[in-house]
Amino acid sequence: MVQKREAYAPWSLTRKAGVQSATVNGDIEVPQFIQPTLDTGFVDEKGDWKGRTSSEEQFHSFAKDEAIANGGEILAPQIASGTKWPLDMTGFNNVIIAIRPSNAGDYRFTAVMGPNDLSFANLRPVNPASTLKGYVRAGAGAFDDLMYDAAEALAADVWNIIIISGSPPVLANQKLLQFKIKNNSGGESDIETAFMRLV
């Protein structure tokens, strides 16, 4: 491949040098070559290096809530106080819920605020387990629940995979994302959960 070529410019080198009577055209030398680049991050306004976020490849935050009565609710994920919150969606757009109940039937899902012993950025305490709301539909005239599914039929004793995405992605950048899951299956159920975040 040719690595240097002549290209037209809307000015002449003489005019660029300051001679106003020079004609407004000319050719300039344009280096031309292919060089691979890799974008792995950026430097923020404070001068700190920030790596690019990538989708998770494995499920995490496995938990099992046992003997949840019909009409009972769980919050997932759960962690010990003071540790890093596993569903910090900063830099992520979408999330996958994996759920394995021991009793088939309907389950209700609501996206809620995480625990109040952790901060949302620099704010603390938050209103724990409150439904996440936002203005996501132009013209709606009110804040909407960001994610609510009243009745999702799940099979028993297998992992049911539920991808939560959208345009715009409604759960993107929620720093303390948690889910309230209600057992409406008609009987007692063990409920196992796991999560995966996607860019």
pLDDT, one tens digit per residue, over 2-12 is: 566 655 555 55
Q: pTM of the entire structure? A: 0.77
| Beta bridge partner(s), residue 198 | 94
User: Which three-class secondary structure string do you get for 17-41?
Assistant: CCCCCCCCCEEEEEECCCCCCCCCE
How far, in Å, CA of 2 to CA of 76, rounded?
A: 59
Token pair 């019909």: residue? 70
Phi/psi at 70 (5° precision): -60, 130
The larger pLDDT score, comparing residue 138 to residue 61, is at 61
Asked whether the predicted pLDDT for residue 111 surpasses 60, the reply is yes
Instruction: Say what the pLDDT of residue 150 is.
Output: 94
Asked whether the predicted pLDDT for residue 36 surpasses 90, the reply is no
| CATH 2.60.120 domain range(s) in the chain | 55-198
The rounded percent of the chain whose pLDDT value lies above 70 is 80
| Beta bridge partner(s), residue 194 | 98
Q: Which fold has domain 55-198?
A: Jelly Rolls (2.60.120)
Asked whether the predicted pLDDT for residue 83 surpasses 90, the reply is no
The larger pLDDT score, comparing residue 196 to residue 140, is at 196
